[in-house]
Amino acid sequence: MTAVVTIRRPDDWHLHLRDGTMLSNVLPYTVERFARAIIMPNLVPPVTTAGAARAYRDRILAAMPRGADFTPLMTGYLTDTIEAEEVARGFKSGAWIAMKLYPAGATTNSHAGVTDIRKIDRVLTTMAEIGMPLLVHGEVVDPDVDVFDREAVFLDRILAPLLDRMPTLRVVFEHVTTAEGVEFVINTPHQVGATITAHHLMINRNAIFQGGIRPHMYCLPIAKRERHRLALRRAATSGNPRFFLGTDSAPHRLRDKENACGCAGIFNAPGALELYAEVFDEDNALDALEAFASLNGPAFYRMPPNEQRISLVNSGTRIPAAVAIEEGEAVIPFRAGETLRWRLVAG
Ligand code: DOR
Ligand code: ZN
């Protein structure tokens, strides 16, 4: 069995860092592993102005461990009323590099999101013109649609018609979870990439109900049937440049998860890269890890890949049982208390 895997330093193309003490306690796990990360804007209140994105980036930089080498790539949050000029100005000035579409009500802190895609036609037209990527939470919010079908229905009802109207728009279909999503991304003639989380490669929907309700396995889009997980694994390990690493690490305080109405989100930053390595190893595809983790994302975002290298050795990473946030508050990571096969070592 391979004992060492050396790849270019990877990036995380979908990450929630939050703010305040949560930010400072979860950030070190990402910084240790990734050179850059796309930072999600669903704060309270959301990041809807270029100024707010700059201020958030400054707070992230201020929370960085000493000596760390990490670049946060900021995004903005689309609302029904955001101005195309603000979006374009922020893009040109470098305040943000992409905009995130949350259908209103689809997930955590999405209530200020977009209620009808046609309301932001002008913004999206501008984004297509300037080459600014649209990052999509691809689920419909129609209560008549089963929660397990919301992604597939989004493709038909929203994304396919949008790309017909705006064929030059560059789209990242975030955290794809279905075989239908994978097929769409592979077959569309348009410029569509997709991130895949480690947890969606590892669990199917049974994990949410194993022996009782498991709030730490609950995220959105929700984990699907086994056939979908297998489709995601084939996509991730295929080398197809449209698929790249995005953890969707989404920390919530323990009491907000273990709750009568628990928040959606899986915190996988501790061990994030090692989780993917485990998946690729299981599928005899470690030679495809670098493309997925370190090359495909930068190519889609039109950035150079990182020059530094990191290595993984198969000697084990222990995932903490809990990560303390502040006095009496903790976050429970994915695979808490377990030992993963691979361990990260510097360059
Ligand atoms: O599970 C999720 N958690 N899905 C999302 O789309 C948002 C995220 C969060 O912010 O907690
Ligand atoms: Zn997310």
Instruction: Enumerate the β-bridge partners of residue 77.
Output: 100
Residue 2: which pLDDT band, with cuts at 50, 70 and 90?
low
Q: How do the domains of the chain map onto residue ranges?
A: 8-308
Kind and range of the H or E run holding 32: helix 20-33
Question: 94 pLDDT exceeds 90?
Answer: yes
| Nearest partner of 204 among 219, 194, 193, judged by Cα | 219
283 part of the active site: no
pLDDT tens-digit readout, 26-48: 999 999 999 999 999 999 999 99
Residue 220: which pLDDT band, with cuts at 50, 70 and 90?
very high
Mutational test site, ligand 1, from 154, 220, 332, 334, max ligand atoms within 8 Å of CB: 220
Across residues 324-328, what is the average pLDDT?
Answer: 94
Of 11, 12, 248, 281, the active-site residue reads: 248
Across residues 186-190, what is the average pLDDT?
Answer: 98
How does strand 309-313 pair with strand 4-8? antiparallel
Question: 1 pLDDT exceeds 80?
Answer: no
pLDDT tens-digit readout, 116-138: 999 999 999 999 999 999 999 99
pLDDT tens-digit readout, 11-27: 999 999 999 999 999 99
Sign of the dihedral defined by the CA atoms of residues 303, 188, 111, 323, in that order: negative
Residue 151: which pLDDT band, with cuts at 50, 70 and 90?
very high
Q: What is the mean pLDDT of the chain?
A: 97
Percent of residues, the chain, with pLDDT higher than 70:
99
Which residues are in the CB-under-5-Å shell of ion ligand 2? 248
Query: How many Å separate Cα 36 from the centre of its chain?
Result: 13
Q: Which ligand is nearest to the CA of 251?
A: 1
Report which ligand 1 atom has the smallest distance to the Cα of 40: 10
Please report the beta strands in the chain, taking only residues with DSSP state E, as ranges in sequence order. Answer: 4-8, 12-15, 36-39, 71-77, 98-101, 134-136, 171-173, 192-196, 243-245, 309-313, 317-318, 323-326, 329-331, 339-340, 343-346
Instruction: Enumerate the β-bridge partners of residue 53.
Output: none
Q: pTM for the complete prediction?
A: 0.98
The Cβ-side half-sphere exposure at 44, using a 13 Å CA radius, reads: 4
Across residues 258-270, what is the average pLDDT?
Answer: 98
Q: What CATH code would you report for 8-308?
A: 3.20.20.140
pLDDT tens-digit readout, 248-262: 999 999 999 999 999
Question: 346 pLDDT exceeds 80?
Answer: no
Q: What pLDDT is stored for residue 108 in this prediction?
A: 83
Q: What pLDDT is stored for residue 58 in this prediction?
A: 98
pLDDT tens-digit readout, 311-320: 999 999 999 9
Q: How far does residue 248's CA lie from ligand 2's centre (Å)? A: 5
Q: 303 burial class (0-12, 13-18, 19+ CB within 10 angstroms)?
A: middle
**How many residues in the chain?**
347
Q: 241 burial class (0-12, 13-18, 19+ CB within 10 angstroms)?
A: middle
- How big is the chain by its Cα radius of gyration, in Å? 19
Question: 298 pLDDT exceeds 70?
Answer: yes
| Nearest partner of 5 among 276, 306, 299, judged by Cα | 276
- Nearby residues of 284 by Cβ (< 8 Å), 6 or more positions away: none
DSSP secondary structure code for residue 220 in this structure: S
The residue assigned the tokens 């400072």 is 24
Q: How far does residue 281's CA lie from ligand 1's centre (Å)? A: 27
Residue 88: which pLDDT band, with cuts at 50, 70 and 90?
very high
Question: 6 pLDDT exceeds 90?
Answer: yes
Q: Which ligand is nearest to the CA of 151?
A: 1
Q: 171 burial class (0-12, 13-18, 19+ CB within 10 angstroms)?
A: buried
Q: What pLDDT is stored for residue 347 in this prediction?
A: 61
